[in-house]
């Protein structure tokens, strides 16, 4: 169950990272920063989840 949750978190983080990349190419830098922040938070949650268990 924990592994499944961390996989979902990682996939969500990948999605937000790609959203950030797309926002950068379009020129919406504030959106890119927000999306990358969300991605980093999700990755941190996934890592903490793996370490904690």
The answer to whether 13 touches 47, Cβ cutoff 8 Å, is: no
Owning domain of residue 12: 2-52
Q: Where residue 5 falls among pLDDT bands split at 50, 70, 90?
A: confident
Q: Which residues contact 24 (CB under 8 A, 6 or more apart)?
A: 32
Can you tell me the distance from the alpha carbon of 31 to that of 1, in angstroms, rounded to the nearest whole number? 32
Number of domains in the chain: 1
Q: Where residue 18 falls among pLDDT bands split at 50, 70, 90?
A: very high
Q: Where residue 2 falls among pLDDT bands split at 50, 70, 90?
A: confident
Q: Residue 53: pLDDT above 80?
A: no
Query: What was the pLDDT predicted at 39?
Result: 93
């Amino acid at each position: 169950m924990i592994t499944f949750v961390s996989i979902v978190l990682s996939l969500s983080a990948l999605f937000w990272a790609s959203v950030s990349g797309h926002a950068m190419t379009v020129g919406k830098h504030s959106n890119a920063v927000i999306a990358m922040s969300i991605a980093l938070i999700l990755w941190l949650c996934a890592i903490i989840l793996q370490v904690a268990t």
